[in-house]
Chain A
Amino acid sequence: MDRMIEVDQLSVRFDRLDVVKRISFDVAKGAALGLVGESGSGKSTVLRALAGLNQSWSGAIRFEGNAVEPKRTKGFFRDVQMVFQDPYGSLHPRQTIERVLAEPLLVHGIGDVDARIARAMSEVALPLAMRYRYPHQLSGGQRQRVAIARALIAEPKVLLLDEPTSALDVSIQAEVLNLLADMRESKALTYIMVGHNLAAVAHLCDEIGVMQNGELVERLSAASLRDRRIGNSYTMRLRELSDDIDESFVTHDN
């Protein structure tokens, strides 16, 4: 199968602290990998190194077979886009939605700005009336839709999602997860999603990587995780804790 992303012996150090310790994994084209673990396990750091937001890493990162340097090319920043956790913090407070969405198009010299913005907004089901509003006039869910539209407008191949639904209400989380699943299907995107809610990550991703203390301790399919075909004790503990949280409803429903 064609590989979209290959990570080989990736390490990230902050001062004398090894945050990510020689981890290797790959993601096939069109696949979705979820990275789970507790805070401090290094999952977001991996994502930021992939996105080019952190330059102090060692090892190899390849996108479509091409190794990338710590300093990325402009083309890279078009092909790989990121969606952050906090939609309140990731949109410029003084820019209208129109301006936010136009930025990637201007940066990458993509024409047809007007039509593309309208199309991007309708794809993420944002009313066109929102176009000239500011982020503070939007709800949290709408802001996250803007962030997703901004990531998609330059027609990337890879979307890096850092806890994209953790700051949202469960009702909004469902809408955003559905939207992300639809977009992946219609645009043949490759996803890496970082999250701490196993159920949400397993819903969107077919493969799960479990991180602990900067190491990738297990990689398994979402189906194995559901059925508890788990090899690692730490993964099992995470699974049990999520169990605790939603199993009661299942027994009642049936």
Chain B
Amino acid sequence: MEINVQNLKVRFASPAGYVEAVKGVSFTLGREKLGIVGESGSGKSLTARSILKLLPKRACMTSDTLTFDGVDIQHADETAMRQIRGKRAGLIMQDPKYSLNPVMSIGAQIAETWRTHRGGGRMEAFEAAFDLLDQVKIRDPRRVAGAFPMELSGGMGQRAMIAMMLAPNPEILIADEATSALDVSVQAEILRLLENLVTTRGMALLLISHDLPLVSRFCDRVLVMYAGRVVEELKASDLARAQHPYTRGLLECLPSLARPCKRLKTMQRSDAWTA
């Protein structure tokens, strides 16, 4: 499985002409943990969603190359995309409250995903759902399977979401700010869980986040995006040694417990970064 993205552009039509939100992003992704970081509006989510062709209707996407394991995404029709979306690439979004169906029990939702992609009977699918909930370290899978999303905490909801995404045994998980809405303690658990699953199943992971320290700890490689472009690409463990002034700026304006300071540094933006 390899994702190859070359010169990806995403534009939106506006009364004042086209607004380019992603301005020529290129990267490849194999079996690894790749992080994309940047501020809101930097185009990191649009970049990730382009891979699944899940863009708003008004968006216009172009690229030189956009392939998922050899499949040309840009020219793929909806039938072809359904073989990728969910089945080969799972997407975990920020808030389980919005991405889970509020009027279906957790177990039924996971079983539905299982049957859609793998077929099989109802009973078999429900057994699979219990097993998946168990894999995401839910202590009482049978009880949680019968619960509705509103009855679960944010962390539990996110686990259920991950369980659902694992059902078709995908080759890649795309986590779009999957832990941003969670408490730090829960965040750590979810990340550890993702890490385990990714390693044991040999999946690739694309982690989109605005949290640089988190990405640095968790990923192998990081793309730093600013205003629709990748301004820097580095090994995640080298994030603290980033060269680009934007990346440095993002790191330096973080308050720290270990290094108290009277005033936080603020970002001095430069026009050169967007040139």
A200 to B183, CA, bound (A): 14
**Which one of A174, A200, A245 contacts B265 once the chains associate, using CB atoms below 8 Å?**
A174
Given known A171-B250, A238-B184, contact A244–B217 (CB-CB < 8 A)? yes
Whether B256 contacts A181 by the Cβ 8 Å rule is: no
Known contacts A178-B263, A250-B259; 9 further A-B pairs (Cβ under 8 A) = A38-B183, A199-B256, A203-B255, A245-B184, A245-B217, A246-B213, A246-B258, A249-B240, A249-B254
Chain A residue with the shortest CB-CB distance to B210: A169
Is A237 touching B185 in the complex (CB atoms < 8 A)? yes
A side interface size, CB within 8 A? 40
Of A39, A199, A226, which is within 8 A of B254 by CB? A199
Q: In the bound complex, do residue B213 and residue A245 qualify as a contact, i.e. CB atoms below 8 Å apart?
A: yes
Q: What are the residues of chain A within 8 A of B256 when measuring CB–CB?
A: 199, 246, 249-250
Is B257 within 8 A of A225, CB to CB?
yes
Query: Which residues of chain B have C-beta atoms less than 8 A from A196's C-beta?
Result: 183-184
* Minimal beta-carbon separation of A112 from chain B (angstroms): 31
List the interface of chain B (C-beta within 8 A of A).
39-40, 153-154, 183-186, 188, 210-214, 216-217, 240-241, 249-251, 253-261, 263-267
Contacts of B185 in A (CB 8 A): 38, 237-238, 241
Q: Report how far A173 CA is from B249 CA in the complex, Å.
A: 12
- In the bound complex, residues from chain B placing their C-beta under 8 Å from that of A23 are none
Q: Within 8 Å of chain B (Cβ to Cβ): is A170?
A: yes
What are 25 A-B residue pairs whose CB atoms fall within 8 Å in the complex?
A: A38-B183, A38-B185, A39-B183, A140-B40, A169-B39, A171-B39, A171-B266, A174-B255, A175-B266, A177-B264, A178-B264, A199-B254, A199-B256, A202-B255, A225-B257, A237-B185, A239-B257, A241-B188, A244-B188, A246-B258, A249-B213, A249-B251, A250-B259, A252-B240, A253-B240
Do A250 and B258 touch across chains, with their CB atoms under 8 A apart? yes
User: Which of A170, A237, A243, A244: most chain B Cβ within 10 A?
Assistant: A170
Q: Tell whether A233 is near chain B: CB-to-CB under 8 Å.
A: no
Chain A residues near B240 (CB-CB < 8 A): 248-249, 252-253
A198, CB-defined interface residue at 8 Å: yes
Contact among A169, A181, A198, A237 for B257, CB-based, below 8 A: A198
Report yes or no: A226 in contact with B241, Cβ–Cβ below 8 A. no
**Which residues of A are found within 8 Å of B267, using beta-carbon distances?**
171, 174
- A241 near B184 with CB under 8 A, answer yes
- CB-defined contacts of B257 to chain A, threshold 8 Å: 198-199, 202, 225-226, 239, 242-243, 246
Determine the distance from Cα of A169 to Cα of B39 in the docked complex, in whole angstroms.
6
CB proximity of A193 to chain B, nearest CB, Å: 12
B253's partner among A39, A173, A226, A252 (CB-CB below 8 A) is A173
Q: How far is the CB of A144 from chain B (nearest CB, A)?
A: 13
Q: Collect the chain A residues with CB atoms within 8 Å of residue B39's CB.
A: 169-172
Residues from chain A with Cβ under 8 Å of B255 in the complex: 173-174, 177, 197, 199-200, 202-203
